[in-house]
Chain A
Amino acid sequence: MIEIINLQKKFGENVALNGITTTVKDGEKVVVIGPSGCGKSTFLRCLNCMEDPTGGSIIFGGEDLADMRVDINRHREKMGMVFQQFNLFNNMTVLENIMLAPVHLRTKRLKQAKRKNFGRKIANLFRKEKKALIEITETKASIKKEAEETARKLLARIGLEEKADVYPATLSGGQKQRIAIIRSLAMNPQVILFDEPTSALDPEMVGEVLDLIRELANEGMTMVIVTHEMGFAREVADRVIFMSDGVITEEGTPAEIFDNPQNPRTQHFLRAVLH
């Protein structure tokens, strides 16, 4: 799904990632742990180029995302991201938050197809062999209707149908984060990146968010999760990556990493967080 080869990121002189190589397989749940400042967020944010890598490759959808020439927006649609601070759009209702990108992007493509067809029709006037038109089955209204149905279904799934028309400012942190998660689901992504999704939450709301992530994991969604919730990591991870100083120090199954860590830094870190 994602192949990461010798990924590097420098902020000026500061080396945040110093050569990361790993592969995220289809349906795999990768959990990234490590001390604060070791580059976990930077690693995750380089995967969808929220930070532009300064070296190496990220192969996704048959293209190298680290190449500045690829259309990163198209790939981001297929790579959801969930942030520590939720980042719901404050100027939109919950429903608008979920519908914005699907409606906007599909409408844009519809317009492009119509424009192309128009050009072909004109060109066909002068052609002997007529070129076929692109088949258009949707209208702006149908796109909207479909997106709204999807959005409401997703809201129902997390039990927040009645919040469809309120603004984010009125929601609790747990509600915001669950909505942020279904907002990325509405794009029908192939993988979702989570950057400490529960770190900004009051303790009593951590559970509801982890429950939702666990559900998605069980349904087979591919995920890369940065988290400090070690219990959760052990439970959902297929593979745990321990990072320190911008490199992968150790990786393995949860049992290998949590029960029998080999590297002294991993041992030290786990001793500190588990006790």
Chain B
Amino acid sequence: MQTKIETFIRVFIDEGGYREVLVGLRNTLLIAVLGLLIGIVIGTVIAAIRVMPKYKRLPRVLDKICQVYVGFFRGTPMVVQLLLFWYVLLPLMGVNLPALSIGNFSIGPEVWASIIVFGLNSGAYISEIMRGGILSVDYGQTEGGRSVGLSYGTTMMKIVIPQAVKNILPTMGNEFITLIKETSVVSFIGATDLYKTFNDMGSNTYEFMVPYLVMGMIYIVLVSVIALGIKLMERRLARSDRNH
């Protein structure tokens, strides 16, 4: 054990392995955070479409399209979506994602691809969460908004969705944590995330025990911090339930 730890310290600190880990950590967070943001936008739009009254033709058609979208992204593993996007869709469309670098801060095309796929994927899950959230808001809120002349869209944006978001915040937090954990699959298309940096360290030294142990601890700390952040946010949003 002694030598295992020494080996790790040598690679991690003396040989600058921590720098790689920081890049991996940054990518992991970037993919999860941007993925979540994209997912929230997509999910909210899909949810608003899916709870629309369906007398007219257009909402029905849009609803069908959304169903197919959600079905696909919830029905296949994230790795499969990632591989299909990177090795099938992008080459077929002839698209080369750009690499962005500002100073020594650079984000490669694999990371962009991961962000997009994570966004599309979480959009599907969040749409279901959001739909549940919207349905949990009393229909009287919608009627109140419509009765003073606000449109369906305005009523949703200003009245229903803010309340839905409050109701689903804990579930959203779980979705974010899921995304953080799922980022460990992006190495399948060559993106550097937290998992990949520790795995590389292990491969280089033929010594996996300590790197994986440290990696596990970092994930736990990360997730705990996020869980705490969500708690604080919930407390802030509970304002409208209290006297003050």
Give residues in A with beta carbon < 8 Å to B.
Answer: 48, 50, 52, 73-77, 80-81, 83, 85-92, 100-101, 104-105, 166-167, 169-170, 180, 183-184, 187
Contacts and interface: CB of A to CB of B under 8 A. Distances in A.
A230 to B, nearest CB: 26
Contacts of B240: 90-92, 167, 169
Give the bracket for the number of chain B residues in contact with chain A. Answer: 20 to 34
Contact of A83 (B140, B150, B158, B242): B140
The 5 closest A-B pairs by CB, nearest first: A87-B144, A77-B149, A101-B148, A81-B147, A87-B140
17 contacts: A73-B149, A73-B150, A73-B151, A76-B146, A76-B149, A85-B138, A87-B144, A87-B147, A89-B141, A89-B158, A91-B159, A91-B163, A100-B158, A166-B243, A167-B241, A170-B242, A183-B148
B67 interface: no
Nearest to B237: A91
B244 interface: yes
Given A73-B149, A169-B240, A104 B144 contact: no
Contacts of A183: 148
Contact of B148 (A52, A91, A184): A184
A2 to B, nearest CB: 16
Contact of B140 (A73, A85, A105): A85
A105 B149 contact: yes
Nearest to A96: B158
A166 B158 contact: no
Nearest to B163: A91
Nearest to B137: A90
Nearest to A165: B244
A180 B141 CA distance: 12
B163 A90 contact: yes
Contacts of B146: 50, 73, 76
B241 A88 contact: no
Interface string B202-244: 0000000000000000000000000000000000000111111
Given A89-B159, A184-B147, A187-B149, 7 more contacts: A50-B146, A86-B140, A92-B240, A101-B145, A101-B148, A166-B243, A170-B242
A86 B243 CA distance: 19
Nearest to A167: B240
A133 B130 CA distance: 44
Interface in B125-155: 138, 140-141, 143-151, 154
A106 to B, nearest CB: 11
A50 B159 contact: no
B105 interface: no
B166 A89 contact: no
Contacts of A75: 149
Contacts of B242: 167, 169-170
A48 B244 CA distance: 36
